[in-house]
A and B are shown apart, each in its own frame.
Chain A
């Protein structure tokens, strides 16, 4: 991974409480898995920064190495890798996601 890609990723997750590395952007996801996570985050009502990995090949490959995770989307909360689409969906369905975000102080209505 290039230093620039590594620094960009580290910097982005340090500066934003919730970051979704995805294909496309939150307004227009370009992959069903990314779109699912956007819908879930919108539904639970958390603000998040979106990073379109399709815009930069070095970030697209770099994030996989950074997280030791082979697929996109990837969700980071307060610098911690939370998971990909399956994990976020599972956490949403069990109510765990909302609880987790509330614990981190990221839900306004909590």
Chain B
């Protein structure tokens, strides 16, 4: 079951309200996305930790409902 980009954006924003988020639907199928996220919560964190914060925000949907979400994260 694909997940709409707006739902992904809303979940990330809920966890990191200051985030600037751009989501691209890579294949146009609502199933393969790339998210570019800039947020102050990433400051001082390794890339692994930054991505873990995003996965935590998505509450288990990543790897399940959400099949492919490429991440580009950096501090704001």
Contacts and interface: CB of A to CB of B under 8 A. Distances in A.
B63 A83 contact: no
Contact of B52 (A33, A68, A82): A68
A69 B53 CA distance: 10
Interface string B38-76: 000000000110011001000010111000101110000
Interface in A26-80: 33, 64, 68-71
A83 B48 contact: yes
A11 interface: no
Contact of B55 (A33, A69, A82, A90): A69
Nearest to A64: B63
Contacts of A87: 47-48, 51
Mostly helix, strand, loop or mixed at chain B's interface?
mixed
A81 interface: yes
Interface of B: 47-48, 51-52, 55, 60, 62-64, 68, 70-72
8 contacts: A68-B52, A69-B51, A71-B63, A82-B48, A83-B47, A85-B70, A86-B72, A90-B72
